[in-house]
Structure 1
Amino acid sequence: MRSAMTSGRAIGTVLIVFSLVATLAALVLPSDMFEGNRASALARAGWQDDGKGTWQTKYGPLTPMDRDFIRKVRSAGLWELPAGRAAQERGTTESVRVAGDHLVDGHTELDKRSIKCSRAMNVSLPNQPNGSQKEYLGDMERASGKKFDRVLVEHLRRQHGIVFGLVGLVRDQTRNSMVRSLATRANTIVLDHITVLEDTGLVKFEDINDVT
């Protein structure tokens, strides 16, 4: 009888310890790790704090995430506009060339909007593609024919999927009316680009959904 009681207490102790560990893990680890929400996880890790705090503007508070979003919109256009033009000129199918049309139109508009935001709120912007973006453009330049189509769609669809999560995060959390307007328009344009890229029939969803 005493042995059974001792065993019961031991099991109870183990269960309590396990519950405490599980609770601590839930508090410390990001929920996205448990939910498997790729877009949200990438979005939350996908913006950089410039260390300059929140600025007060006539459009509302401008946070580090807001400023980084404006910069990322500008940065996207620095390589996706040339990629869109390449699709228009070198795409081997009508659907790839149509995707190029949408990319050029969409990023021309977003580029103008990001520049307007930067001038209105004194946010510095990049003027050259970054290292990864130059690699994407290089991959496209070296490819030809059907391979060009595949490389272009692969890079663009993956990057649009990542930024789509960030757009939603900014649209949800920003308190700045000008940034909110930019995010609202970016949401529509990025979704349109995702759609036309998928319409090419060249998207490999198993690669896109690979979070490793």
Structure 2
Amino acid sequence: MLSFRRRSINSLSVATRYTIGSGFVITALAVTLIALLIPVDKFGGRTAGAAARPAAEDDGAGILSTAYGPLTPADRDFVRKVRLAGLWELPAGRQAQQRGTRAAVRTAGEHLVEGHTELDRQVIQVGQALGIDLPNQPSEQQQDWLGQLTRAKGDEYERLFIQLLRRAHGKVFALLAQIRAQTRNSMVRALATSANTTVLDHITVLEDSGLVDFDALSDATPAPVPVTSPPPSARRSEVK
């Protein structure tokens, strides 16, 4: 009788130990599964975002540290200006293709469309990679230029188109050289190199039209140098 009780107790102990052991195994598996799921939910979005927009740290002077090198305020301003150029020069080029009566004007319009279509694709990629917010519509001044072109007719339209686009490209061309020479960011440098080729091509076809008024390209004439009396020391030297 005593041995039967001992066997019962031993049997019960084994069953109990089995139940407890199984519980520990199930619990451990559940904890492991949760541990695997949490990082996917918590960091998955961050990883995807980092691929499109790498983390950048401001050094206090407006210079951001990126995977492609330092990104200065001038770099960011340049990227935005390239985007802005395409936002008004693309529709201006399409308009010239349709409204131009001179073959040279239509050719210039074609070059604008082709060049800025590709350049716009590149600048959007650069903006996404460097985390730069890009404009989605032309500036007020650029919208005014488009309005002037829309209202102009005939020969006036073609001359205005050539003059507005040649002046705009001349200003961008000067900026390109400065950014290309100074930037330490490899993506900005590549964009400046590509934009330089595109802008030079556009300047060339615009000038080939024979309609550029070079005297009127400058926004303002230089201020005259005032005539002043020489300092007393200079007058004394002249007397001697």
TM-score (norm 1): 0.74
Q: Give the counterpart letter for 1:81 in structure 2.
A: L
Q: Find the counterpart in structure 2 of residue 76 from structure 1.
A: 85
3-state DSSP of counterpart to 1:175:
coil
Q: Which residue identity is paired with 1:200?
A: S
SS in 2 for 1:61: strand
Q: Which residue of 1 aligns with 2:217?
A: 208
Unpaired runs of 5+ in structure 2? 1-59, 222-240
| Count of aligned positions | 162
Identity of aligned residues (%): 60
1:107 is aligned to 116
2:104 aligned to which of 91, 95, 109? 95
- Secondary structure of the equivalent of 2:211? coil
How far off is 1:211 after superposition? 3.8
Specify the SS of the correspondent of 1:76: helix
Task: Report which of the two structures shows the higher radius of gyration computed on alpha carbons.
Answer: 2
1:129 to 118, 138, 157: 138
Match of 2:158 among 131, 149, 156: 149
Q: CA deviation at 1:210?
A: 5.5
* SS of equivalent residue, structure 1 residue 99: helix
Show the counterpart of 2:170.
161
SS of 2:121's equivalent? helix
Counterpart for residue 193 of structure 2 = 184
SS of the aligned residue for 2:149 comes to helix
- The alpha-carbon deviation at position 209 of structure 1 amounts to 4.0
Counterpart amino acid of residue 203 in structure 1: V
Q: Distance in 2 between matches of 1:209 and 1:69?
A: 21
For 2:172 and 2:96, the matched residues in 1 are separated by: 20
